[in-house]
Amino acid sequence: MNLSHPRVLQMVMDSLRYWWCTAFNIDGFRFDLDVALGREGHGFDPGSCFFDAIRQDPILSTRKLISEPWDIGPDGYQVSNHSPGFAEWNDKYRDGVRRFWRGDSGMRPDLAARLTGSAEFFNRRFRKPWTLVNFVASHDGFTLADVTAYSHKHNDVNQEGNNDGHNENCSANWGVEGSTETTPRFSNGAHASPVR
């Protein structure tokens, strides 16, 4: 959709405002692959027509606005480059926590930086730490259970030759690839719940 065209932008804004805010009282939006929504003729623009219209709208501007700040298009990785008023997913947090848990060397400073707001990436235009959405798993890539059960992706069922999905999930199987019924014992003799 060409969001820089006035009629298209109006249709999107009217739909968001009426169907989601007025009719269903949705309290916020997460915009998937949000960079595509801010891409104009010259590339990504944090002050694009779409972002400006949302921020100026008397209803939409009062909602929680969350950006997934990347897509696969040109200049598609725009972490920390969105307009004020939009929170952003923090994939640096996801990857840092997973790498620390996996046991990668030298990850303590990175984990500390993630837990204290990832300022080296997000401290732009007076952004505050609460504009980040820190997560360890989402609908993209491995689930949290998969992160602890697989070292590599196994997307074989959909018959796409394991070519879909993210290749680096910062995961570890800790000895057994895939789900298992093994019940680990702790040093004190207690049993953990089975890992599935």
CA dihedral 170, 173, 178, 182 (to 10 degrees): -150
Nearest to 54 by CA among 96, 15, 97, 106: 15
What is this structure's pTM? 0.80
CB 171 within 8 A of CB 102: yes
Active site residue 91: no
Instruction: State the Cα angle at 40 between 38 and 44, rounded to 5°.
Output: 50
142 alpha-carbon distance from chain centroid: 12
Check 32, 57, 95, 140 and give the catalytic one: 32
Q: Kindly give the confidence (pLDDT) of every residue in the chain, 196 residues in length, as a single tens digit, with 9 standing for 90 and above.
A: 888 899 999 999 999 999 888 899 899 999 999 999 999 888 899 999 999 999 999 999 999 999 999 998 888 999 988 888 899 999 999 999 999 999 999 999 999 999 999 988 888 777 788 889 999 998 888 888 889 899 988 887 888 888 887 788 999 998 889 887 764 544 444 444 444 3
The reply to whether 160 belongs to the active site is no
The CB density around residue 94, as the number of other CB atoms within 10 Å, is 21
| DSSP 3-state of 108 | helix
Q: How far apart are CA 170 and CA 48, in angstroms?
A: 34
Output the pLDDT for position 189: 46
Per the residue annotation, which of 45, 68, 88, 110 is the catalytic one?
Answer: 68
DSSP at 194? P
Domain residue spans of the chain: 6-136, 140-196
Side-chain half-sphere exposure of 22, counting CA atoms within 13 A: 9
